[in-house]
Structure 1
Amino acid sequence: MILTDTHTHLYSEEFDQDRDEIILRAIKAGVSRFFIPAIDSTSTKSMYELETKYPENIFLMMGLHPTYVKEDYIAQLEHVENELKKHQFYAIGEIGIDLYWDKSFLQQQQLTFKTQIRLAKQYKLPIVIHCRDAFDEIFEILEEEKSIDLFGIFHCFTGTYEQALKAISYNMKLGIGGVATFKNGKIDQFLNKIALKHIVLETDSPYLAPIPYRGKRNESSYTLTIAQKVAAIYDRPLNEIAEITTANSKAIFGI
């Protein structure tokens, strides 16, 4: 059984004391594919180091996270473009709009999101979307940019059934993580109405640990816990969930 964690911040300082142990524990649990989203230029060096150490397991993305869109966003976008020219990446991410913490940079976030979507089209890469309190704003830009070249993952999907269908209509898979195990997560109430071909698994570690680990540091081995929850929601065997979601990840990332 091969499980894929399509979104894990393994370079996070939260893992500085036991990163190798975390990765080996995940591999032992059947999670052997890790897709690593970028945040900003400060994460690039540690991402490359991870890839060098685990070339068979670690696959990198490049992008500017919306909550890191600040006064220097132009320079950060230049960094993204420069790295894309000289290194192989498997997605542009994580990118999007986040209005939970700060609305003052909305215009810059919108411009940054559009710019990176266009880079994804240029390099024929998927996008990995971060959306928090911004479904309308995200969908507005996806509508403007929609094309056969626009595809990817709606990371950490927490929307309604209607929003799920809308995301799928833009060639997006739904990233299903720990929220699916929460009592108030709500997506478990409609997820089985969504065909399995439209979902991938993720942890977003070290954040959003699934029950029974909620409130603790998340890690990639918990992809198995999420897969077990998804198997229960769909009433399908665990190995089938693993097989389908990993195949979906390969369709998106091309590897």
Structure 2
Amino acid sequence: MVITDTHTHLYSEAFEEDRSAMIRRAIEANVSRFFIPAIDSAYTEAMFQLEKDFPENIFLMMGLHPTHVKENFKDELAHVENMLSQRKFYAVGEIGIDLYWDKTTLDIQIEAFKYQINLAKKYKLPIVIHCREAFDEIFEVLEQEKSDDLFGIFHCFTGTLEQAYKAISYNMKLGIGGVVTFKNGKIDQFINKIGLEHIVLETDSPYLAPKPYRGERNESLYIIKVLEKLSELYGISVEEIADITTKNSKHVFGI
């Protein structure tokens, strides 16, 4: 059984004291594929170090996170473009719109999102979307940019069934993580109406730890709790969920 964590910030400061041990714990439990989203240029070297330390398990993305779209965002986008031109990445992400922390940057968040969508098209890469309190704004951009070569993952999907179908209509898989185990997470009430071919697994570690670890530091090993919950909701084995969602990740990332 191979389990794929399609979204994990393994370079996070939260793992400073036990990063290698934490990654090895996950690998020993068959969580052996880790896709690493970018935040901004400050983390690029740490991402490269992760890849160097675990070359068979770590797959890097490149992008500018919407909460890091600030006054210098054009410099950051230039860094993203420069990195994409130099070496292989597996996605442009995480990118998108976040209106939870700061609504005043909406215009430049949209500009950065569109710019990076077009970089993804140029390099024939998937996008990995961050959406927080911004479904309408994200869908508006996707409607404007939709094309056969726009595809990817709606990371940490927390929307409604209707929004899930809409995301899928734009060639997006749904990234399902710890929220599916929350009593008030709501997606557990309808997720089994979505075909498994549209779903990938993720942790977003160190954030959004699943039950029974909610509120603690999340780590990739805990994706097993997400797997077990989906097995319960879909009524099929953990092994089948792992197999289907790993195949879906290969379809998106090309590896």
Pair in the same fold by TM > 0.5: yes
Paired letter, 1:124: K
Provide the residue aligned with 1:93 in structure 2.
93
Q: Distance in 2 between matches of 1:206 and 1:93?
A: 17
Looking at structure 2, the residues matched to 112 and 56 of structure 1 have their Cα atoms a distance apart, in angstroms, of 31
CA distance in 2, matches of 1:228, 1:150: 31
Amino acid at match of 1:35: F
Describe the SS at the equivalent of 1:175. strand
Aligned residues: 255
Structure-to-structure mapping, 1:94-133, within 5 angstroms: 94-133=94-133
Secondary structure of 2:38's counterpart equals coil
Contact persistence 1:30–1:224 (CA under 8 A): no
Structure 1 equivalent of residue 250 of structure 2? 250
Q: In the alignment, what sits opposite 2:177?
A: 177
Residue 28 of structure 1: CA displacement? 1.1
The SS at the match of 1:109 is helix
Structure 2 residues not aligned, in runs of 5+: none
1:149: which partner in 2? 149
Alpha-carbon distance, 1:29 to partner:
1.2
Q: Percent identity?
A: 71
CA deviation digits over 1:62-95, x for unaligned, max 9?
0000000000000000000000011210000000
Aligned-partner Cα distance in 1 for 2:229–2:26? 17
- Counterpart residue number, 2:51: 51
Q: How big is the alpha-carbon RMSD for the aligned residues of Structure 1 and Structure 2?
A: 0.4
Unaligned runs of 5+ in 1: none
TM-score, normalization by structure 1: 1.00
Alignment of 1:1-255 (within 5 A): 1-255=1-255
Secondary structure at 1:39 match in 2 = coil
Q: TM-score, normalised by structure 2?
A: 1.00
The one-character-per-residue Cα deviations of 1:168-211 (angstroms, maximum 9, x if unpaired) are 00000000000000000000000000000000000000000000
Q: Take 2:43 and 2:228, find their aligned partners in 1: how far apart are those partners?
A: 31
Structure 1 segments of 4 or more deviating over 4 A? none
> Using the alignment, how far apart are the partners of 1:60 and 1:209 within structure 2?
22
Aligned counterparts of 1:32 and 1:230: Cα–Cα separation in 2: 19
SS at 2:209's partner residue? coil
Secondary structure at the residue paired with 1:205? coil
